[in-house]
Amino acid sequence: MTLQKLLSIELPIIQAPLAGVQGSSLAIAVCNAGGLGSLPCAMLSLETLQSELNAIKAGTSKPYNVNFFCHTTPAPDAAREAAWRQALAPYYAEFGIDADSIPTGPGRNPFSHEAADVLEAFKPPVVSFHFGLPTADLMQRVRSWGSKILSSATTVAEARWLEANGVDAIIAQGLEAGGHRGMFLTKDLNSQVGTFALLPQIVQAVKVPVIAAGGIADANGVAAAMRLGAAGVQIGTAYMLCPEATTSALHRTALQNCTVGATAHITALTNLFTGRPARGMVNRVMQELGSISAKAPEFPLATSALAPLRSAAEKLGRTDFTPLWSGQNVNGCKAIPAAELTLALAGTCQVISNL
Amino acid sequence: MTLQKLLSIELPIIQAPLAGVQGSSLAIAVCNAGGLGSLPCAMLSLETLQSELNAIKAGTSKPYNVNFFCHTTPAPDAAREAAWRQALAPYYAEFGIDADSIPTGPGRNPFSHEAADVLEAFKPPVVSFHFGLPTADLMQRVRSWGSKILSSATTVAEARWLEANGVDAIIAQGLEAGGHRGMFLTKDLNSQVGTFALLPQIVQAVKVPVIAAGGIADANGVAAAMRLGAAGVQIGTAYMLCPEATTSALHRTALQNCTVGATAHITALTNLFTGRPARGMVNRVMQELGSISAKAPEFPLATSALAPLRSAAEKLGRTDFTPLWSGQNVNGCKAIPAAELTLALAGTCQVISNL
């Protein structure tokens, strides 16, 4: 079955959920263009989740995707938290921040029955997960609404696990991809490989449709992914300059400077911002503390300690502590409406489907 | 101009030079199949270089490629060398090796006038370089024979530099690739990106033909690279199980165990074996010392310290200290004749060229 038929969409283009830099507007625009727009829900309160879903229902009659994280929130570790804040102490001093006043908290919530209660009224056509899958009872609830279920695999073993646990399609997340690595069966960063290596190996290993993600930035990239066996693609970075995205001005400028070659586009996997490895543009804190630090609290507990530094620096126009999520390929970033971008990305799908 | 026309070859397939695991036999087989076979010369004495070139001339009338490194050999650093051997001391003790008896030496030689003297009689149709380009007078000598010149770029900046310095085509070496990273304008590993990100950006930045390398393992991979703008591909890992390769039995077994899924295929960039980052399968020394160590002497001076450990461990059937060079994608590794593999890789080129 084609991905289009499985998800009832016209184009095999999924707009990647981009937590923190988009809401319903971007998703609606992509849906109305014939792709699958996604609403990132991991950072939304239940109230906002409800209002964003209302906005999507009002904005489009096409299928849409809601994306959730499904990590297990770890128990707070006071000693580790204290050590981390100690490592950040020079920064707190520099920006005049009282470290004791910083609230702790997870920052990102896993999919839950409370979230499912909100979703139930909407019966979203597609639900995608990151970091594996939720518990069997939650899976059953989602399935009962007729929602198609997607999740990300970063290794062949994860792809096989997802298939065995009942997903309808698998997102093969190559190392080029921006944002959080979806890895959930391994913590070994060496297991994470580029799209050219990952995609065909997952296609060979599973029977469900495979959606390629990572480094795909234009119609040729889409066509190339399909030559490697993808049934469709998930694209995030290219959408970040669209007017419908809520990407901050500082983040937009950073991306734009790379696309015009004013600065080199250097990204790295970093766990400093949340506790899990995620790809973003290298900035001051990543340079000074190292992109991956064993001291950072476990996901998502690392989020709170950097938050006030980010705010303080951004007020000065600096991205020293801002997670500048981005994939390795910014070639496709264009400040054009998301509908136009979606159609451009799908440009040669017709040619390929005739091969 | 197509790559085939530029290099007078029938298929847009270059067999990557694989120093240490192949000689003239593999190159000859690929040339006779219509691809471009390569002879890795960085580890050859002048005498062996001469005899290997004689073998190629006797074995094929088709164009072939000779590959050289063009690094600057650093001055020996006695203190750093001593510190490195100190770090390895527990291993020397374990294997009963007298550290003082280990010869020092570069292990790999850069392209030189002496090598050019040998080449001169052969006027090799293609000469490829790694780590940039040799000095202008050496470039001039190579050019005077009518040889076409290739070199590897790992960033857009390197591609532009190579074009400005007169290469005929550029190998875009994606992060998936096995063996040494060709990086020469940067030491920042974060600048190294996957083929999906690197290839289209280099294609966009230069006018000379671009050859894709990294993660390409079968005909679909070749076709996908061409959809991303490649004029041809360079493939290494897939050739390592061919009977014409000199891949050791231990190395073959390690690769085969991955291709049948008996062990996970985990590679990493490591500087432990030579001093420069190169991709190989993770083994004991990489796990215990970390794949990248600031203590390892500069390239190629790190080579000598691990050599006796490698020999001693291999005698016991262990790859604890063996550089198990490999790219991230072993899907294409097949123990079939190199000619057969070359034709299989080129399988869909015809379809693509008609698009």
- At B259, list the tokens: 């291709």
Nearest partner of B149 among B157, B305, B136, judged by Cα: B136
CB contact under 8 A, B194 and A216: no
Interface test with A, best of B206, B227, B266, B352 (most A CBs within 10 A): B227
- For residue A174, the chain B residue with the least C-alpha distance is B194
- The model's pLDDT over B25-59, given as tens digits with 9 standing for 90+, comes to 999 999 999 999 999 999 999 999 999 999 999 99
Return the H-helix or E-strand segment holding A81.
Answer: helix A78-87
pLDDT at residue B353 in the model: 43
Does A176 contact B155 at a Cβ distance shorter than 8 Å? no
Asked if the Cβ–Cβ distance from A331 to B194 is below 8 Å, we say: no
Dihedral sign, Cα of residue A313, residue A318, residue A321, residue A322: positive
Please, are residues A304 and A266 in contact by the beta-carbon 8 Å criterion? no
Cβ–Cβ below 8 Å for A214 and B200: no
Task: Compute CA B230 distance to the chain's CA centroid, rounded to the nearest angstrom.
Answer: 19
C-alpha to C-alpha distance for A204 and A222, rounded to whole angstroms: 19
Distance CA A133, CA A174 (A): 19
The verdict on a CB contact (< 8 Å) between A266 and B191 is yes
Q: Cα separation of B184 and B202, whole Å?
A: 16
Q: What is the CA radius of gyration of chain B?
A: 19
Question: Do residues B17 and B38 lie in contact, with contact meaning Cβ atoms separated by under 8 Å?
Answer: yes
What is the arithmetic mean of pLDDT over B185-195?
97
d(CA B74, CA B51): 29
Which of chain A's residues have a Cβ under 8 Å away from the Cβ of B216?
A: 196
Which residues, listed in sequence order, are joined to residue B281 by a DSSP beta bridge? B267
- Which residues of chain A neighbour B225 with C-beta distances below 8 Å? 196, 224
Determine the length of chain A: 355
User: Best interface-test mutation with B: which of A227, A282, A330 has the largest number of B CBs within 10 A?
Assistant: A227
Mean pLDDT across B124-140: 98
Among the partner-chain residues B196, B220, B329, the one whose CB lies closest to the CB of A329 is B196
Q: What is the pLDDT along chain A (355 residues), one digit of tens a residue?
A: 899 999 999 999 999 999 999 999 999 999 999 999 999 999 999 999 999 999 999 999 999 999 999 999 899 899 999 999 999 999 999 999 998 888 877 678 899 999 999 999 999 999 999 999 999 999 999 999 999 999 999 999 999 999 999 999 999 999 999 999 999 999 999 999 999 999 999 999 999 999 999 999 999 999 999 999 999 999 999 999 999 999 999 999 999 999 888 888 999 999 999 999 999 999 999 999 999 999 999 999 999 999 999 999 999 999 999 999 999 999 999 999 999 999 999 995 544 443 3
Cross-chain residue pair B194–A188, CB shorter than 8 Å: no
Judge whether residue B106 has pLDDT over 70: no
Residue B349 pLDDT class (50, 70, 90 cuts): low
pLDDT at res. A354 = 38
CB B172 within 8 A of CB B153: yes
Q: Is the pLDDT of residue B350 over 80?
A: no
Residues B108-118, mean pLDDT to the nearest whole number: 95
Query: 């230069």: which residue's tokens?
Result: B206
d(CA A170, CA B235): 28
Of A105, A103, A94, A107, nearest to A45 by C-alpha is: A107
Hey, is A97 helix, strand or coil?
A: coil
Which of A155, A157, A176 lies nearest to residue B193, judging by beta carbons? A176
Size of interface A-B (CB pairs under 8 A): 128
DSSP string, B144-162: HTT-EEEEEESSHHHHHHH
Task: List, in sequence order, every beta strand (DSSP E) within B75-193.
Answer: 126-130, 148-153, 169-173, 179-180
Could you give the C-alpha distances from B31 to A256, B39, B347, in angstroms and in order?
Answer: 45, 11, 16
Compare all CA atoms of chain A with the CA of B328 and give the residue at the minimum distance: A197
- Give A334's contacts in chain B (Cβ within 8 Å): none
What are the backbone dihedrals phi and psi of residue B150, each rounded to the nearest 5 degrees, phi first? -120, 155
- Give the distance from residue B193's alpha carbon to the nearest chain A alpha carbon, in angstroms: 6
A239-270 as b/e: b if 16+ CB within 10 A: bbbbebbebeeebbebbbebbeeeebbbbbbb
Cβ-based contacts of B223 with chain A (< 8 Å): 227
Residue B62 confidence (pLDDT): 98
B132: left (phi over 0), alpha (psi -120 to 50) or beta: left
Is the pTM of the predicted complex or chain greater than 0.90?
yes
Q: Which amino acid is at B345?
A: L
> Are B241 and B252 within 8 A, CB to CB?
yes
Q: Write down the pLDDT at residue A348.
A: 52
Which is it for strands B278-281 and B179-180: parallel, antiparallel or unpaired?
Answer: antiparallel
> Which residues in chain A are contacts of B329 at CB distance < 8 A?
193, 196-197, 200-201
Q: In this structure, how many other beta carbons lie within 10 angstroms of the beta carbon of residue A123?
A: 12
Rounded to whole angstroms, the Cα distance separating A185 from A174 reads 16
Chain B residues whose CB is inside 8 A of the A282 CB are: 190
Does B204 sit within 8 Å of A196, measured CB to CB?
Answer: no
* Token output for A267: 């990204």
Q: Which residue has the tokens 């077994």?
A: B253
Q: What percent of chain B has pLDDT over 70?
A: 97
Report the pLDDT value the prediction gives residue B107, as an integer from 0 to 100: 73
Whether B194 and A174 lie within 8 Å, measured CB to CB = yes
Residue A220 to residue B204, Cβ atoms within 8 A: no
Query: Taking CB atoms and an 8 Å limit, are A291 and B190 in contact across chains?
Result: yes
- Contact criterion met (CB < 8 Å) for A196 and B216: yes
Q: Which residues of A touch B267 (CB under 8 A)?
A: 190, 193
Residues of B in CB contact (< 8 Å) with A are 155-157, 174-176, 188, 190-191, 193-198, 200-201, 204, 214-218, 220-221, 223-225, 227-229, 261, 264, 266-268, 282, 291, 327-329, 331, 351, 355
Q: Contact A174/B157, CB-based, under 8 Å?
A: no
Torsion of CA B272, B278, B282, B287, to 10 degrees: 30
B17 vs A82: CA distance, rounded Å: 51
H/E segment holding residue B38: strand B37-40
Which of B228, B282, B328 is closest, CB to CB, to A220? B228
Please give, rounded to a whole number of angstroms, the shortest distance from the CA of B317 to a CA of chain A: 25
- Residue pointed to by tokens 């006043």: A101
CB contact under 8 A, A197 and B268: no
In the block, which residue shows the tokens 């100190």?
B86
Contact A196 B214 (CB under 8 A): yes
Q: Tokens for A135?
A: 């518990």
Its ipTM equals: 0.94
Among B217, B224, B264, the residue with its CB nearest the CB of A191 is B264
The model's pLDDT over B266-293, given as tens digits with 9 standing for 90+, comes to 999 999 999 999 999 999 999 999 999 9
Query: pLDDT at position A193, please?
Result: 98
All residues of chain B having their beta carbon less than 8 Å from the beta carbon of residue A227 are 220, 223-224, 227
pLDDT at position B261, please? Answer: 83
The whole-number pLDDT of residue B354 equals 38
CATH placement of domain A3-71+108-252+331-349: 3.20.20.70
Could you give the CA distance from residue A111 to residue A240 in angstroms, rounded to a whole number?
25
Q: What is the pLDDT of residue A349?
A: 52
Least-confidence region, from A106-110, A213-217, B75-79, B146-150: A106-110
Neighboring chain B residues of A194 at a CB cutoff of 8 Å: 174-176, 194-196, 214-215, 328
Q: What's the pLDDT at A259?
A: 87
The region, left, alpha or beta by phi > 0 then psi within -120 to 50, assigned to residue B226 is: alpha
Burial A133-151 (b: 16+ CB within 10 A, else e): bbeeebbebbeeeebbbbb
Distance CA B279, CA B268 (A): 5
Domain locations along chain B:
3-71+108-252+331-349, 74-107+266-325
